[in-house]
Structure 1
Amino acid sequence: MLPTTTEMQMPYSDIVLDTVPETEIPHARFTSGLFIYDEVFLNGRLLGRYWSSSGSIRPDMHFRWANWYTEVAPKLPADAFSLALEGETLAGGWQWLGAEECADPSGFRGEGRPVRHARIRLGHERRPVEVAVHMRLDGSPFMIRWLEITNKGERPTAISAVSPWSGLIWQHRCAEHTPPDCPSPFELAYTHHFNWGEEGDLWWEPLAEGTKVVDGGHKGRSGWGRPAFLLRNRANGELLWGELGWSGNWCMAFTCTKDEAGGQASLIFSIGPDAADPALRVLEPGETVRTPYVHLALFHDDLDACVQAAHAHVRHTVMPAQLPGLNQRVEANHRGYICDRETEAGLKREIDIAASIGAEVFVVDAGWFGPEPNRWGANVGDWYAGAWLAGGLEPISAYAHLKGLRFGLWVEIESIGQAARLRQEHPDWILTRDGQPVADGRALDLSKPEVVAWMESEIVRLIRQYDLDLFRLDYNTAVLEGGNRVYRGFVENTLWRHCEALYGLLDRVRARFPHVIFENCAGGGGRLDWEILRRFQITEISDWMRAPRGIKILNGLSFSLPPEVCLRTFGTETGEHVLDGDLDFQLRVAILSHPIFRGISPTLEELNPLLQARIVHALDLYKNFIRPMLPECRVFHHTGLLPLFELTPWCVLEYAAVDRSRAVVGLFRTADIGEDCYTLYPRGLDLGRDYRVTFDNLRETIQCSGAALAQEGLRVYLPTNLTSELLLLEEIRRSY
C-alpha cells in the first residue's frame, strides 16, 4: 500500500509577513505541511484570502484580475476573527500595528519539529483595545491560532463574544462537481448527542442553505458532545478539521450560501467560547487575557489519513508525553462489587483479584472519603478517609505496592456535596447564579482565588499522603450555564475564570509531580476537549459500558483521540448486564483501548476459572501484541462514522504498526441485520511482505501475502449479534 499524501509530508513550516505586491496592503501567509492559510489586512479588517491543501501558493495576479481587493473583499461577510466588547461587535475599524515572527509562548510540545510562531498586532479606532493574533505552526497539517486581548483603557471592559478563527473557507463553482443526489456540496460531522453516555455520536450531515449552529447543549463544560467538527467538501474533495481547546460552554456556526443560477456555493465558519451572560470575561485596565486555542487542518486526503494526522497532533503536540514504563498500564478500579461499601479488607481483596488477572495499577474510586458512609456524591469536598476506613488509605496504598501494583486515587476536587463539612465551613465558596446556588449547591466557585488555593493544596496533600502513582480527576456536577456575578459593573459569567483557574492549578501540580500519571474523567467523557487533555496522559471517554453502544463510542471518539489514551471498561459497575455482548466482545473493546476493570469477581475464591482464563488471555494479547504498537499506531475505521442510535451491522477497527510489521483488527457484530459475513481488506500492511494471520476465535493461523490480503480480503463469519472476532496480523520475517 502506497503512503498517503499526508503520510509523505515532511515537517515543513513557513511564515511570510509582507505586503501584497505593488501595494501597501499588509499580508501574512502561513504554511504547515501542505496546508496554507493566507490573509490580508484591508479597510480595517483582517480577512482570510485563501486556503490551500496542496502547498501551492496562489499568484497575486489572480486576485488582481478578479478585482478582489476593490470588489470582492469589501463584500466578504466574515472577518478572520471576531470580537465584541460590552455588546458592541468590533467588525471593521481595526488599525494595523505590526506583525512579527517570534518565539512560541504557547507551551505546546514541539520536540524535533520546525515550530514557528507569528503575531499580528491590531488596535481599534472606537475602543481602547489591542488584539494580538497568534499563529503557531510545526510542520504538521495542524495550525493553532489564538488571540490575546488587552484592555488599553482606564476603566474595566468586558468581552461579550469572541471567535479566535473565523471566515470564508470555500467559495467556488460546484454544480458540475457535486453528485446529483447531494443536497449540498458541504457536509458537517459533529457529535450530535450531548448527554451522559452518548459520547462519540459522530456522523455526516449535509449543510443546507442558511446557518447551522451547534453548541453542545451548554452543559457548563466542553461536554459529552465535543467542541470539534469535520467539514467535507464533496465538490473539491477537501476536508477541514477543527477543534476548540476549551472546557467551558462553546458555540460553532456554519453558514452555507448557494447561487443556484451561477452554480456556486460558499461556506463561512466561526467557533469560540459561549455564555448566557453579557460578559464572558471582564478585563481590568491594562489586563491581557488569552482566548481558547483553535486547531485547524485542511486536507485533500482520505479520512483515515486525516485521522492519523489528528492522532499525531494529539500525541506529539497536545497531550503530555507518556511516562516511560508507565504508559498504557492495565488498571483495576474498586467500583464493581463494593461500591459504597469500602473497607480495608474489601479493598485489599480487590487488589488480590486485580493482581490475579495481571492488572498493573489499582485505583480507589469514589466512596473512600467524607462523613457519611455510602453517600459519596454528598461527601465530595471532604477529602479525608471515612470512618469505615479506620486505618485510612495508607495501608491500601502500601498493600497495592507490596503486590506489585501502582496505586491511584479518585477525587472530584471541583465539587462540594451536601454532607461535606467543607460546605458548612465555607458556604460562600458555593457557585451561584443570580444569587442562587448552581447544581443544588454542589459546585465550587473557582472565580475565587481562595477556593483555587485550597483545591491545589488538597491535591498536593493527597498525592504526598497516599504516595500516589496515579491521580484520577472526575467532574460529575452539571453547572449548565455556569455561575455569574456582578463584577466591576458587568454581569460576568464565571466559566472563563473557572477554566483559567483549573488549567493553571493542574499545570502547577503536574510540574510538582512529574512522575505521577494524571487521568481525566468527567462523568465519563464529559470533558474531552484538546485543552483539558493537555494536562492528562489518559482519559475516560464514557461511563457507558454496554454493547453495542460501547464499541460505537470508541469508534466515534477514536477519530479525534488515539486509542491508547481512551479508557474502556470491562466489568460489573453499571447495569443492563443482559446487553453486555459475549465475553470476548466485552474484553476486546477494552484491549483495543486503555483497559480498566471494574468488577471482576466478588472474591478471589468465587472467580470463575474460565472467566479468569479469558481475561488473562485477552491481557496477554494486549500486553505482548497490541500495546507495543499502540503509542504510534495508525487507526483505520473500516466502517466509517457510525451513528449511536441507528442500527448498523458491523463495527470494524484496525490498528497497524507504523512500520507495517503488524496489525490487529477487531470485528464487532453490532446488530442482527445485514450480512453475516464481513470481507476485510486490511489497510495498514505492506503489499510486498508476507503475514501470519491468527483468528483468535478459532485459534487458527494462515499465511498470506500483503497483496492478497489487501486485494482479495479475509472473510469473517459472525452470525450472532453482539459477538466479535480479533485478527492478529504479523509479518513473517525470512532468514536467508
Structure 2
Amino acid sequence: MNRPFLKTFPNFLSLLLCVALGISFAGGALHAQSTPGTQPARAPFQAVFRLDGGDTTYAFGVNERGELQQIYWGGRIGASDTIAPPKSNPDWASFDSSYNNTPQEYAGWGTGLFHEPALKVTFADGNRDLVLHYVSSFRSDEHSLDIMLKDISRAVSVTLHYRIDPATGILARSATIESHEAKPIMIEQAAAAGFALPPAHYTLSYLSGRWAGEFTLNQEAVRPGQRILESRRGSSGHQINPWFAIGKNDAADIVDEEHGEVWFGALAWSGSWRITVEQDQLDAVRVTGGFNPFDFGYPLKSGEKLETPVFYAGYTHNGMGEASRLLNHFTVSNILPEAPNPRPRPVIYNSWEATEFNVTEAGQESLAEKAAALGIDRFVMDDGWFGQRKTDHAGLGDWYVNKEKFPNGLKPLIDKVHSLNMDFGLWVEPEMVNPDSDLYRKHPEWVLNFPGRPRSEERNQLMLNLARQDVRDYVYGFLDKLLTENQIAFLKWDYNRNWSEPGWDQLPPDEQKKVYVQFTRNLYSILAELRVKHPNVEIESCSGGGGRVDLGILHYTDEVWPSDNTDPLDRLTIQDGFTYAYPVQVMMAWVTDSPHWLNQRSTSMAYRMLVSMQGSLGIGANLNKLSDADLSTIKRLTGAYKQVQKTITQGDLYRLISPTNGSEFSATETVSTDKSQAVFFGFVHSTQEGRTFPRLQLLGLDPGAVYTLSSIEGNTVEGTPVVASGAWWMNHGVNLQLKGDFQGAAFRLEKK
C-alpha cells in the first residue's frame, strides 16, 4: 500500500548514535534522549523520542519494563527542555494492573489489558497473549521516526511509523504488523495508532448523518466508558465520518471556535473503520483507531505483513476553528493528488437534473451550449450513456457507449464541448453491477456473496467483489480503455450502496474476511494506476453524497460530493459540518432547481448561488427551464466567484455565525493566506420580530493594513466605510442590510 507521508528509509546506526549522544534536531524535527543501557528484555534501557512541528510537541519513550509509553502531547515546549523517561503507572488495587493503567503507544492484548487494544491476535496453538516491547528505532529523515516493537517471546513484530508535519504539527501514524511464526497467526484487531490525554473535563465532537443529511456536528461530554465511532458498511459511510475532535473544558479553559485546547484527528481509510474514545477508570482518555474489528480476521503466514491505514492527529490551543484550519491546510498541502498546490476546481455543469437517464447526443450538446454561455469550465454528462442504461434497473457493469444514444461514440459530443472552451467529464459507477446486465449474466460469481444465500439488492444493484484480482483487472481495464479512447478530463466516480453478504468464496474460509482490507487496497491501486497513466484526468469521490469521504480516498481523488441534498438551506449546515474535517477546496457545491425536489422549498437563484459559492461551485439546474433572469444571475455571480475562488477554497476559513440549532442567521469568512483578500457571506433564514442581522466582527485580517470593501451581492447599512483598516473590520465590524426569508449577501475586502 502507498502510505502517504510515512515513507520508511531505515537508518538504525545513525539513530543509535544520535540517541547515545543526546543529539536533537531543530524545527519540525525528531529529538531523542536516552539513559544508557541495553535492550529492554535484559535491562532497563530507556529512550525518549520527541517530535516537534508547528506549535506542537509529541513525546513518548521506553519505560522501565520496555513498553513504549506516551509522555506528552500538547503545545510546543522549549528545544532545550529535557523530558524525563516515562515511568509506568502503578496498579490500582488488584483490579487494574500497571499494564492496564499505563498509556502505551501501541498496546497488545495481553497481561490483563482491559482497555481497547491496538493489536489482538490468536496464535496457531491457541495462545492469545501479546505483549509488545521496544526493540529498535529508525530515523528516515528529520521529521520521521520508525519504532520496532516485538512480542516478549513470539516472532511477531510491529513497526510504528511516525511523521510530523513541520508546518501544522499534524502527526501521521500507522503500523506494519509482521509475523515470522512457523504457523499462521490470525489478526483479529489492528489499529493504526493509539493516543492518550491526561485526566480532565473533555468534550467530544464528531460528525454524524444519513443519506441527504450528512456532516451533522455533534458535541458531548466525554464520560467513563467507551464512545464508539464506526462504520461496518464496507466504506467510510454517511452515518459517522472518521474524524474526531476533543476539547478541554475545565473551568479556566472553555473551548469555542477561536479559543481553547483541542486535539483532533482523522483516519485515512475508505473501508470499514472504528475510532474508540475511552475514558478509563482513572479518568484518562484514550483514542484508538484503525480497521473495524467487527467481522474482521486477517491471517498472516510467516514472512507476511499487514499495513494499517494512516491515522492523522493534531493539536491547537486556538479552538475548533484553528483545528479545522490546520487539518484543512494539511490536507491541501500534503494529501490531495496535486499537493502542495492543487488548482482551484473548475466550475462545472452536470446534466443529471436536466436529463436523468434520457441522455442523447443532441440533448447534451444543447445543454453544453447553454452552460458555456454562463462561463462554465467543465461539462459533465451523468448517468445513462452506457450499456442498456435507460433506468436504474439495468446496464451497470456494461461500460460500452450506447449506440442508440451516441451512434458515433462519445467523440462528437466531446468535440462539441471542446469547441465551446469547456473540458468534458463523465459519470461512472465502477464497483457495481445490475443483475440485468451482460456482465452479471457472464460472471455472477464476481459479486460479494455467500453461496446458497440470497443476494441483497439496493438500488437494483449488487457490489462487485473488488478484492478479487480478476474483478480488479476488469474494472481497471474498462476505465483505462474509456480514458484512452476519449478525451475525458474528469470522472464522477459514484458508489450507491453499502455492503451485504461480504463473502469471498475463492479463498479458504479462514481467509475470506481479508475482503474488507483487500477490496479497499484494490480500489486505491486502481485509482493510483489510472492517475499515473492518465495524469490529466481528475476524479470525484461520490457515494450517494457523503458516503465515502475520508483522507484515504482524498489521496487519490481531487474532490468529493458531500451530499445528494442540494437544498440551499440544508446545505448551510451540511457545509458547516463538512469544513470541520475537510477543506473547501474539495467540497463540491451545486446550484439546482427550485422548488427543491427533497423539501419542496422555493428559494431565489441569488440565494442558491451564494450558498454554493462557499464551496467549489457547480451548476446542476435544468438549464432548459431557467428564466433569462436566473441565467443572468448565474453568469454574473459565476464571474464574481472566479475572482475570489482561490481565497474561498484555499484560504483560512472562519465560521462567524453557525447555522445549526435553529439559528436565524449564519455567516462565514475566508481570508487568503497572505491576508491580501477576504470574502465573507451572510445568510438569514427568516427575519423574526424585526431583528437586524448581527454585526459581523471579521477575523484573520492584517490589523495594520487598509482594506477596500466591495459588494458581490447585497448591501451594508448606511454609513459603512468603503475603506478602513483591518483593525476596524475586526473590532468595529460591519452591519449588513439583510432581512426577509432565505436571503443572502456576499462581500470582498482587498488590501490596498
**Does residue 680 in structure 1 map to residue 696 in structure 2?**
yes
CA contact (8 A) 2:665 2:693 kept: no
CA contact (8 A) 1:11 1:32 kept: no
* Count of aligned pairs: 683
Give the Cα separation in 2 of the matches to 1:593 and 1:452. Answer: 33
Give the Cα separation in 2 of the matches to 1:95 and 1:210. Answer: 27
Q: 2:617 maps to which residue?
A: 595
Tell me the amino acid that sits aligned with residue 246 of structure 1. Answer: W
CA contact (8 A) 2:230 2:274 kept: yes
Normalising by structure 2, we get a TM-score of 0.85
Residue 150 of structure 1, aligned match among 175, 178, 182:
178
Matched residue SS, 1:638: strand
CA contact (8 A) 1:369 1:376 kept: no
Give the Cα separation in 2 of the matches to 1:83 and 1:324. Answer: 37
Compared CA separation, residues 669 and 437, structure 1 to 2 (3 A)? farther
Matched residue SS, 1:510: helix
Query: Could you give the per-residue CA deviations for residues 515-559 of structure 1, whole angstroms, max 9, x where no partner exists?
Result: 222222111111111011000122211111113211211111112
Deviation at 1:692, TM superposition (A): 2.1
Give the Cα separation in 1 of the matches to 2:685 and 2:302. Answer: 58
Q: 1:494 maps to which residue?
A: 515
Give the Cα separation in 2 of the matches to 1:277 and 1:67. Answer: 33
Tell me the amino acid that sits aligned with residue 79 of structure 1. Answer: Q
Q: 1:262 maps to which residue?
A: none
Q: 1:704 maps to which residue?
A: 724
Q: How does 1:380-419 map to 2 (within 5 A)?
A: 380-386=396-402, 387-419=404-436
Q: 1:444 maps to which residue?
A: 464
CA contact (8 A) 2:560 2:586 kept: yes
Give the Cα separation in 1 of the matches to 2:361 and 2:406. Answer: 6
Residue 363 of structure 2, aligned match among 346, 360, 369:
346
Residue 93 of structure 1, aligned match among 131, 138, 155:
131
Matched residue SS, 1:467: coil
Query: Could you give the per-residue CA deviations for residues 416-457 of structure 1, whole angstroms, max 9, x where no partner exists?
Result: 112221111111101114764654261010121011011111
Query: Could you give the per-residue CA deviations for residues 384-440 of structure 1, whole angstroms, max 9, x where no partner exists?
Result: 122333232221111111111101111111111122211111111011147646542
**Does residue 523 in structure 1 map to residue 544 in structure 2?**
yes
Give the Cα separation in 2 of the matches to 1:56 and 1:721. Answer: 53
Give the Cα separation in 1 of the matches to 2:631 and 2:670. Answer: 26
CA contact (8 A) 1:431 1:437 kept: no
Give the Cα separation in 1 of the matches to 2:567 and 2:736. Answer: 23
Larger relative CO (CA 8 A, sep 6+): 1 or 2? 1
Q: How does 1:8-87 map to 2 (within 5 A)?
A: 12-20=27-35, 24-42=45-63, 43=65, 45-56=67-78, 74=99, 76=101, 78-81=103-106, 82-86=118-122
Query: Could you give the per-residue CA deviations for residues 117-166 of structure 1, whole angstroms, max 9, x where no partner exists?
Result: 21111221354322111101231310100001112123333221112211
Q: 2:483 maps to which residue?
A: 463
Q: 1:120 maps to which residue?
A: 147
Tell me the amino acid that sits aligned with residue 134 of structure 2. Answer: W
CA contact (8 A) 2:589 2:617 kept: yes
Give the Cα separation in 1 of the matches to 2:584 and 2:213. Answer: 18
Give the Cα separation in 2 of the matches to 1:471 and 1:538. Answer: 11
Compared CA separation, residues 96 and 207, structure 1 to 2 (3 A)? closer
Matched residue SS, 2:722: strand
Query: Could you give the per-residue CA deviations for residues 449-503 of structure 1, whole angstroms, max 9, x where no partner exists?
Result: 0110111111111111221111221111211684455636345151211111111
Give the Cα separation in 2 of the matches to 1:637 and 1:61. Answer: 37
Query: Could you give the per-residue CA deviations for residues 217-264 of structure 1, whole angstroms, max 9, x where no partner exists?
Result: x332111231010000112542111111011111112222577xxxxx
Q: 1:612 maps to which residue?
A: 631
Give the Cα separation in 1 of the matches to 2:165 and 2:363. Answer: 50
Matched residue SS, 2:635: helix
Give the Cα separation in 2 of the matches to 1:325 and 1:13. Answer: 23
CA contact (8 A) 2:371 2:379 kept: yes
Matched residue SS, 2:379: strand
Q: 2:140 maps to which residue?
A: 102
Q: 2:607 maps to which residue?
A: 585
Q: 1:130 maps to which residue?
A: 157
CA contact (8 A) 2:48 2:84 kept: no
Q: 2:528 maps to which residue?
A: 507
Matched residue SS, 2:597: coil
CA contact (8 A) 1:669 1:718 kept: yes
Query: Could you give the per-residue CA deviations for residues 88-132 of structure 1, whole angstroms, max 9, x where no partner exists?
Result: 8977522433111026xxxxxxxxxxx622111122135432211
CA contact (8 A) 1:409 1:470 kept: yes
Q: How does 1:619-634 map to 2 (within 5 A)?
A: 619-624=638-643, 626-630=644-648, 632-634=650-652
CA RMSD of the aligned region, Å? 2.8
Give the Cα separation in 1 of the matches to 2:135 and 2:609. Answer: 59
Q: 1:561 maps to which residue?
A: 582
Q: 2:684 maps to which residue?
A: 669
Q: 1:244 maps to which residue?
A: 267
Give the Cα separation in 2 of the matches to 1:673 and 1:378. Answer: 50
Q: 2:40 maps to which residue?
A: none
Tell me the amino acid that sits aligned with residue 685 of structure 1. Answer: L
**Does residue 334 in structure 1 map to residue 351 in structure 2?**
yes
CA contact (8 A) 1:197 1:543 kept: yes
Residue 219 of structure 1, aligned match among 229, 233, 238:
233
Residue 191 of structure 2, aligned match among 159, 163, 168:
163
Tell me the amino acid that sits aligned with residue 558 of structure 1. Answer: T
**Does residue 542 in structure 1 map to residue 563 in structure 2?**
yes
Give the Cα separation in 2 of the matches to 1:422 and 1:623. Answer: 43
Q: 2:256 maps to which residue?
A: none
Tell me the amino acid that sits aligned with residue 124 of structure 1. Answer: D
Deviation at 1:306, TM superposition (A): 2.2
Tell me the amino acid that sits aligned with residue 80 of structure 1. Answer: E
Q: 1:319 maps to which residue?
A: 336
Give the Cα separation in 1 of the matches to 2:440 and 2:588. Answer: 32
Matched residue SS, 1:559: helix
Give the Cα separation in 2 of the matches to 1:350 and 1:594. Answer: 21
Give the Cα separation in 1 of the matches to 2:655 and 2:148. Answer: 42
Give the Cα separation in 1 of the matches to 2:360 and 2:195. Answer: 58
- List runs of 5+ in structure 1 lacking aligned partners: 1-9, 104-114, 175-184, 260-264
Give the Cα separation in 1 of the matches to 2:153 and 2:540. Answer: 46
Residue 388 of structure 2, aligned match among 361, 371, 396:
371
Give the Cα separation in 1 of the matches to 2:736 and 2:263. Answer: 34
Give the Cα separation in 2 of the matches to 1:52 and 1:91. Answer: 33
Q: 1:107 maps to which residue?
A: none
Deviation at 1:672, TM superposition (A): 5.4
CA contact (8 A) 1:128 1:152 kept: yes
Tell me the amino acid that sits aligned with residue 69 of structure 2. Answer: L
Deviation at 1:53, TM superposition (A): 1.7
Q: 1:551 maps to which residue?
A: 572
